[in-house]
Structure 1
């Protein structure tokens, strides 16, 4: 059997790299699909600001963006929620608002309440809208 197209292309790339003096390809920090953490945080903050201004459709728009990332990126989405909530002062109340003030409030609340990734992201956006 011969080489596959992928193997031939990889061999050709290795020969080119060797001519250029590249000993090994640059390592990628994130080989998965999805948005980088900074982008997720910016999306959450923007959706919160839009919701605070009365744009209820911001939640629907956020759901569309999150749908791509929910299955494989729960940890990253919850980390982004934690990062944007880190600046908020602790409040009394139930739900995610009651979890503020602790370390990783969104992650902790999602684990304790059994909330889905989408529910946690939407609760984060609603909390940002009421606080800002």
Structure 2
């Protein structure tokens, strides 16, 4: 979870599976697929889609509000309440994309349990290996 600023308005966002669900329900599109379409924007700026970024922020903000047990407005109501939105704000875009990357594309390699071969360290074939 992180707090971003859209203009002067603070917005809490959280990249979770719930955000993926909200995005799919509201926009009838896959959030990760839409992000992947924009992966080469440095080479081809025409792939940049500001509406997808706004939709991403809304879905992550709605996911955060659910974890806080707060009601959240529809997309249209939420967008209409934004005072201003500077699409050239690199800090905002960086924070949004970092939250998405950290939440949706975690490798999990650090937290993977290491499995031992049966018979090592007293483990038995019918028991799961012990974590180290």
TM-score norm. by structure 2 comes to 0.28
Structure whose residues are more often helix by fraction: 1
Q: TM-score, normalised by structure 1?
A: 0.28
Q: Which has more radius of gyration?
A: 1
Give the structure with the larger strand fraction. 2
